[in-house]
Amino acid sequence: MNPAEREELARLLPSPGDPALPSDRLTQLEAHLMREITPEAPSRSARPAEDPSPSRPFRRFAAIAVPVATAAVVVAAVLTVGDGGAGRPSTDPEAVRLLDRIATVAAARKAPRVRDDQYVYTLTQGTQQIMNEGLDTFRRSDWHAVDGTRDGLARITVLSGPSGERTEDMTLEADPNRTTYRELEELPTDTDRLYDHVWSATQGQGPTHEEAALEMIGSMLQDATLLPEVDAALYRAAARIPGVTVVRDAEDAAGRAGIGLSFGDGDDRDVWVFGEKDLRYLGSDEVALLDVDVVDKAGQTPAG
């Protein structure tokens, strides 16, 4: 291809942005997955979620500068990315073994008894870029209705940073696009079926199909901690997707050390972090999961 042709191709192609799946897209993919599993359920509206996704509450706020790619780089990406192409990631046997160990530990946990009138409570920690002023470090508590029929609550506490220490509450309106605990509970626990559904739901998404599928699995790991069989199936499904590698001396967004599993490259790189001894899910390098439980009321914590 001569320089003139490269220049014309670069002009026709859209400028590259942050290729990571936004949280509202993840929510839509989860809804699509649930429709495939439960076709008798009424179809959901396509409106995006109004609140930041609790599974990845900080990525959609992050201001990441992405340099404009040269035409040659764009052409290379077009030629290498795709299912079965030369750019498809390889399978890391060590990562597969670790995911199987994590799944075994997850399956052995005891599932709590959960009522429809209760709320799933999650406590996370991460950072948010405040324009050019620096990073806020904050914790976020979320309460989502188990059956998705009632409004929830988000409580964000800024621990440090340019915004100053403060706490704000906001109502999380009941969102038909968000996967509820009850819907998550209905996911198939057979690894083959779950893998097939995730792979189908993420067709044509992400920088690569593999990254999109792993992003979708990652978006469900927080609440799935309460569902041992589903949790184990998600990790075993992830083990079938090429591109995951083991990270020694990983660290979550709260600074806790552990062992990690990463996928993606550059700004798209994600690292799931687990306790090195107990293999408990600690969150990721972007969002640390400090607690997950079931409580009776929005605003209530497990400690009371």
Give the DSSP letter of residue 222: H
Domain ranges, residue 212: 3-295
User: Do the domain assignments include residue 300?
Assistant: no
User: Do the domain assignments include residue 277?
Assistant: yes
Q: How far apart are CA 248 and CA 152, in angstroms?
A: 37
Mean pLDDT per block of 10 residues along the chain (304 residues) reads 40 38 51 48 34 36 30 30 56 95 97 96 96 93 97 97 95 91 96 97 93 96 97 98 96 97 89 97 97 97 82
Q: What is the largest CA-CA distance in the chain?
A: 68
The total number of structural domains in the chain stands at: 1
pLDDT of 33 reads 52
How many CA atoms lie within 13 Å of 66's alpha carbon, on the beta-carbon side? 13
pLDDT of 27 reads 53
Residue 141: Cβ-neighbour burial (10 angstroms; 0-12, 13-18, 19+): buried
User: Do the domain assignments include residue 235?
Assistant: yes
pLDDT of 172 reads 96
pLDDT of 217 reads 97
Closest CA to 142 of 159, 126, 119: 119
User: Do the domain assignments include residue 258?
Assistant: yes
CA 209 to chain centre: 15
DSSP letter for each residue of 155-182: EEEEEESTT-SEEEEEEE---TTSPPHH
Which residue carries 């978006």 as its tokens?
Answer: 219
User: Do the domain assignments include residue 302?
Assistant: no
User: Do the domain assignments include residue 153?
Assistant: yes
User: Do the domain assignments include residue 259?
Assistant: yes
User: Do the domain assignments include residue 136?
Assistant: yes
Which residues fall within 8 angstroms of residue 21, CB to CB, at 6 or more apart?
A: 29, 205, 206, 212, 215, 216
Closest CA to 138 of 154, 161, 158, 122: 158
